[in-house]
A and B are shown apart, each in its own frame.
Chain A
Amino acid sequence: MILVILPLGKEAKQVVDWAVRVAMYTAGSTLGAALLALVLGLIGKALHALLPFIGYELPVAALGVAALAFALHELNIVKLPTPEMGWQVPKSWQRSSRLAGQTLYGIVLGMGIFTFIPFAGFYVLLALEMVVGAVDLRAAVALGMVYGFMRGLPAVLGGISMLRGQFPIPLSNWLIAHLGWWHALNALALLLFGGLLLGSFLL
């Protein structure tokens, strides 16, 4: 995506054009993730209404266990199933309008469930949005928005590096070359989260 949304030049009009497209892509990504969080939250609410005897404590404990298990997966200690659709957004979406196409890219990529899922923390986040949404839909949507906004960052970074006279491939390569660090960071975040949830039951 870094290489799709570029300033394509340094003329003022091209930079403004890029800024609009990157803003729409990031807004789309935030919106897509928020919409998915809302749907998951509503599913959580419906499940809680159907099965009120389960309460909130059991799902929170299950989330803690899942976070620790997926942290071990990220650390390559255990292997867990990580289903994904692996669909790639088509180039044809940009044919009629680059702005509309890239906004659509943002919405679909922001949802995250249709494409590749390289980080196991994403599954925990989806389950978390469902559990949180059962209690407070606004909190679930806020989680989705944070995820979606952060998801939109590469386009901004790529554009800034282009404006500074650097072609974004080094940035893109750097991100890919440090995949292991990203997995480690995910594992650490999951350990903190899992430790907090499970620890609250044990202490």
Chain B
Amino acid sequence: MANSVVEQSGNKTYRAWVLGLSFTALAMLGVGVWMASLIVGPAQPWLGPAFLVSMGLAAVVGASKTSSA
């Protein structure tokens, strides 16, 4: 899982990692909600900006699998 990155390192590094990740996670959620505010009505993941974000998700999931290869 995500926070296993530095769980073996010192407390300070671990705290910095958790804080950084939490902040970035909230920022990403905020960006998602902000993008939603630009869309009229429910998002349609088969077209427009929601489709682009869907493509990004597919790329991230596919690239992640490289680490398991």
Residues of A within 8 A of B (CB): 1-2, 33, 56-57, 60-61, 63-64, 71, 74-76, 109, 112, 116, 118-119, 121-122, 124-125, 128, 131-132, 135-136, 139-140, 142-144, 146-151, 153-155, 157, 172, 175-176, 178-203
**Which A residues are in CB contact (< 8 Å) with B32?**
191-197, 199
The distance in angstroms between the C-alpha atoms of A136 and B42, with both chains bound, is: 17
Q: A203-B36, A203-B37 are in contact. Are A132 and B54 (CB under 8 A)?
A: yes
A151 and B66 form a contact (CB under 8 A): yes
> A157-B66, A184-B5 in contact; A150/B42 too (CB < 8 A)?
no
CB of B55 closer than 8 Å to a CB of A: yes
Interface size of B as a range: 35 or more
Chain B residues with a Cβ under 8 A of chain A: 1-6, 21, 24-25, 28-37, 39, 41-47, 49-51, 53-69
**B45:A60 contact, CB within 8 angstroms:** yes
A195–B39 Cα distance when bound, in Å, is: 12
A187 to chain B, nearest CB (A): 6
B64–A185 contact, CB under 8 A? yes
CB distance from B57 to the nearest CB of A (A): 5
Residue from B4, B47, B54 within 8 A of A128 (CB atoms): B54
- Give the docked Cα–Cα distance between A30 and B32 (Å): 28
**Shortest Cβ distance from A1 into B: residue:** B69
- Of all chain A residues, the one with the shortest Cβ separation from B6 is A180
CB distance from B6 to the nearest CB of A (A): 8
Identify 27 residue pairs between A and B in the complex whose beta-carbon atoms are under 8 Å apart, listed by A's number.
A2-B69, A56-B42, A61-B42, A75-B25, A76-B4, A112-B65, A121-B64, A124-B57, A142-B55, A150-B59, A151-B63, A153-B62, A154-B69, A155-B69, A157-B66, A175-B69, A176-B68, A183-B64, A185-B60, A186-B64, A189-B61, A196-B50, A197-B42, A199-B33, A199-B37, A200-B41, A203-B33
Pairs A-B, 4 closest by C-beta atoms? A195-B32, A150-B62, A199-B36, A180-B5
